[in-house]
């Protein structure tokens, strides 16, 4: 059985290394992209089942990229989780409207993060009950 594939789209190297380590330790195969252009390249090569999408990226932002991916028949089934430290009241609605299947906040809880990501992968477009950004 192959490992679940997660793509981390984030331009902060420290965040990426921590999240990569935690996910790999949790049984994921992980690829990384620092911006939208790299993400599109990685999606074509790596075929992720789930994307952790930082919202504030250089160039094309994460919500714009999410809209593009969800509009494309080839990528619309990929579970996309907004992954940001900057969520404010009302942002969950904006993330959902852009096509995000859920939300996880930074900083991560190292002990539970891989399990949270796996829950999203298992549930697909149905968010875990604990999700809340209001």
Residue 59 in any domain: the answer is: yes
Residues 61, 4, 73, CA angle at the centre, nearest 5°?
Answer: 50
Domains: count for the chain: 1
State the Cα–Cα distance between residues 120 and 126, nearest whole angstrom. 7
Residue 133 in any domain: the answer is: no
Residue 114 in any domain: the answer is: yes
Which residues fall within 8 angstroms of residue 79, CB to CB, at 6 or more apart? 49, 50, 51, 101, 102, 120, 121, 124, 125
In this predicted model, what pLDDT tens digit does every residue of 10-62 receive, in sequence order?
Answer: 999 999 999 999 999 999 999 999 999 999 999 999 999 999 999 999 999 99
Q: What is the pLDDT of residue 62?
A: 96
Region class of 99: left (phi > 0), else alpha (psi between -120 and 50), else beta = left
Q: State which residues form the domain around 60.
A: 5-123
Residue 20 in any domain: the answer is: yes
Residue 134 in any domain: the answer is: no
Which residues fall within 8 angstroms of residue 12, CB to CB, at 6 or more apart? 54
Q: What is the pLDDT of residue 123?
A: 82
Residue 132 in any domain: the answer is: no
Residue 130 in any domain: the answer is: no
In this predicted model, what pLDDT tens digit does every residue of 83-131 receive, in sequence order?
Answer: 988 666 777 788 989 999 998 988 999 999 999 999 999 987 454 444 4
What is the CATH classification number for the domain harbouring 106?
3.40.50.2300
Residue 106 in any domain: the answer is: yes
Question: Does residue 89 contact residue 107 with C-beta atoms inside 8 Å?
Answer: no
Q: Cβ atoms within 10 A of the Cβ of 60, count?
A: 15
């Amino acid at each position: 059985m192959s490992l679940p594939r997660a793509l981390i789209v984030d331009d902060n190297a420290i965040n990426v290394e921590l999240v990569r380590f935690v996910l790999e330790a949790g049984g994921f195969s992980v690829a990384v992209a620092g911006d939208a252009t790299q993400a599109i390249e990685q999606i074509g090569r790596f075929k992720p089942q789930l994307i952790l999408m930082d919202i504030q990226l250089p160039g094309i932002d994460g919500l714009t990229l999410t809209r593009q991916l969800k509009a494309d028949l080839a990528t619309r089934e990929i579970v996309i989780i907004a992954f940001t430290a900057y969520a404010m009241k009302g942002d969950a609605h904006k993330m959902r409207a852009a096509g995000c299947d859920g939300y996880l906040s930074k900083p991560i809880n190292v002990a539970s993060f891989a399990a949270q990501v796996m829950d999203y992968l298992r549930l697909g477009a149905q968010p875990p009950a604990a999700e809340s950004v209001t």
